[in-house]
Amino acid sequence: MPWTTSLKNSRHLLTAMGVAGLVILGALLVYPALRLYVDAPITPATIDFLLRRDTVATLRLTILLALAVAIAATVIGTGLAYLATRSDLLGRGLFRQAVLLSYFTPSVFLAFAYLVLMGSNEGPVTRLLRGLSGGKLAVDVMSPGGFVLLGTFEVVPVVFMIVSNAMASLHGELEDVARISGASGLRTSLRVTLPLALPGIASAALLSFVNATALYGIPAVLGVRVASVAIQGAISYPFRYDRAAALTLVLLLIAGSAVIALSVVLHQQRRFAVIGGRWRPPPVVRLRMTRLFWSVLAWFYVVAALVAPYVVLLTTAISRRWTAGPMPGNLTLDHFAAVFTDDVNRHAVVNSPLYGVVAASLGVVLGGVVAAVIVLSSARWLRAALDYLVTAAWAFPSIGLGAAYLVTFLHPPVLYGTPYILILAYLTKFSPLAVRSVAAALQQHGPELREAARITGESAIGAARRVTLPLLAPSLIASWILIFVPSIHEVSSSILLVSPGNETLAVAALFSFESSAFEVAAALGVIAIVETIAMWALIQRFRGAGRLRVLS
């Protein structure tokens, strides 16, 4: 029959797409990783370096701080997700948007803001606490405790998104049964809601830990020596690529162990299933007398993680001297003018959104193709190979990926000194986000509509264009945003790969910070946040228009 022949052709097409994806991912990830360890092999001297007391202390501190960040972010993110999705929290809809908006805050600028707020000498919060305690309470954000605080702010939005989706998808019938049996709201949450959401919570915790081990912008600003900062130091003059490769390998082993644990958790998630009738959302939990308390607590987090950093960046950017604050005689727009008169900063303002747009667009195409093969292909070996490479790309530390690209593309084809090396690094690191998002959407919609289109005579490409793509449009747009936002804020690999004329916003801000130009760094932060939110708003508007066209 014609449609069976077309089905066979589609299988061949999926196999060809999968092989192409393997080649691309191999060139983007496997080849640079191998080249790093070929050009900078691990020798007995490198082993001695790893066993040195200061190196062991750095790695131990990295793991301990990452664990602290993961625990704090999981507890806070899960609590906020519960309040936002399951309770009658005051301003619940606005609160959810505010927490998601904090995802757009670049880590470098978050650290700048809190350095101004809670610096050891001049920070207003530091002075306030010192005054209230009579000089007994000393708070300094430039410490491991500051790393945990800001790392938690950095990771909580990711936990919030994962756990919110897990809790919102629970079947309401289960909680109804518990309540009919006489269980209180608290008991129902502890005995029903949290156990069912536990796989998502565990996944978020492991993701938080992996992200925290590779953070660079926050420890670089705060002066906390963790593994990522040590890798950057090893590649600075005098160049010790072997040490950078060894530290990258340790971080990769740590991330790999967490990914293995994550795969076990996700496998266990299949055991939780609801067999019943039509799905309906779980009931809203009434907080009653504690509603005001939990609302104040939740909104305090928004103030600390979102409002305070934005206000500090803006007031610092418009102050002649940041230590004097936004007083009438201390206001100026000269620092914004300085951004556009300095070559490095001017390039950064243009380069970051441009590189982000290109990386996000390429990432959606690559991620969509790879996701289609992983979900639809009948070749098990191909699905497994692609899934492994996607997981490896996500787990590879950004600072280590930058080191690998630096070593690789100093040789032919020479890409160092061009924008392409940055775009490829962003594509490699963040395209797995598109793969996971699109794959989940493909699994959700099922094959029935595609098969119906094929039976009516549509080709594989025609079925994809007329059926699959319209259904995947929201997921593809979300994937584009998921790649664009971290690309425009990325600093871990960018700090190693930038060159004159190709600076990015986060790196230019670090340069300004190192030269004590806090006000200019704050102006760059305001510009970065405005660019990101403007692009997000544009995409949201485009998505709304796209939905109207599909529905019509």
- Domain with residue 231: its CATH number is 1.10.3720.10
The verdict on residue 534 lying in a domain is no
Question: Which among 334, 304, 342 has a CA at the least distance from the CA of 509?
Answer: 342
Q: 119 near 112, Cβ under 8 Å?
A: no
The verdict on residue 243 lying in a domain is yes
In this structure, how many other beta carbons lie within 10 angstroms of the beta carbon of residue 496? 26
- Give 87's strand partners: 285
Percent of the chain with pLDDT over 70: 78
Residue 184 dihedral angles phi and psi, to the nearest 5°: -75, 170
Range with lowest mean pLDDT among 2-11, 125-134, 383-392, 507-516 = 2-11
Residue 416 has pLDDT above 80, yes or no: yes
Q: What is the mean pLDDT of residues 413-427?
A: 92
Q: What is the mean pLDDT of residues 121-141?
A: 68
The structure tokens listed for 436 are: 């996971």
**pLDDT tens profile 144-183:** 989 999 999 999 988 898 888 777 766 556 565 556 665 5
In this structure, how many other beta carbons lie within 10 angstroms of the beta carbon of residue 49? 18
The verdict on residue 549 lying in a domain is no
- CB-based burial of residue 269 (10 Å sphere; 0-12 exposed, 13-18 middle, 19+ buried)? middle
Domains of the chain: total: 1
Task: Name residues whose C-beta falls within 8 Å of residue 336's C-beta, 6 or more positions apart in sequence.
Answer: 317, 523, 526, 527
The 3-state DSSP class for residue 241 equals: helix
The 3-state DSSP class for residue 225 equals: coil
Q: Is the dihedral of CA 310, 479, 159, 391 positive or negative?
A: negative
The reported pLDDT for the residue numbered 173 is 60
**pLDDT tens profile 325-383:** 777 878 888 888 888 888 888 999 999 999 999 999 999 999 988 988 888 887 888 88
Phi/psi region, residue 389 (left: phi>0; alpha: psi -120 to 50; beta: rest), is alpha
Q: Taking all residues of the chain, what is their mean pLDDT, rounded to a whole number?
A: 80
Distance CA(13)–CA(7), nearest Å, equals 10
The verdict on residue 423 lying in a domain is no
Task: Tell me the pTM.
Answer: 0.83
Range with lowest mean pLDDT among 274-288, 339-353, 537-551 = 537-551
Q: Is the peptide bond before 238 cis (omega within 30 degrees of 0)?
A: yes
In this structure, how many other beta carbons lie within 10 angstroms of the beta carbon of residue 243? 21
Task: Name residues whose C-beta falls within 8 Å of residue 210's C-beta, 6 or more positions apart in sequence.
Answer: 254, 255, 258, 259, 395
Residue 518 has pLDDT above 50, yes or no: yes
Residue 97 has pLDDT above 50, yes or no: yes
The verdict on residue 207 lying in a domain is yes
Q: What is the mean pLDDT of residues 87-103?
A: 87
Percent of the chain with pLDDT over 90: 21
Question: Which among 39, 528, 45, 75 has a CA at the least distance from the CA of 317?
Answer: 528
The reported pLDDT for the residue numbered 68 is 96
Name the pLDDT band for 5 (thresholds 50, 70, 90): very low
The verdict on residue 72 lying in a domain is yes
User: Hey, what amino acid is at 125?
Assistant: V
The verdict on residue 482 lying in a domain is no
Phi/psi region, residue 339 (left: phi>0; alpha: psi -120 to 50; beta: rest), is alpha
The reported pLDDT for the residue numbered 434 is 85
Domain span holding position 191 = 50-279+286-328
Question: Which among 94, 221, 82, 102 has a CA at the least distance from the CA of 155?
Answer: 102
Q: 508 near 489, Cβ under 8 Å?
A: no
- CB-based burial of residue 349 (10 Å sphere; 0-12 exposed, 13-18 middle, 19+ buried)? buried
The verdict on residue 239 lying in a domain is yes
The 3-state DSSP class for residue 285 equals: strand
Q: Is the peptide bond before 44 cis (omega within 30 degrees of 0)?
A: no
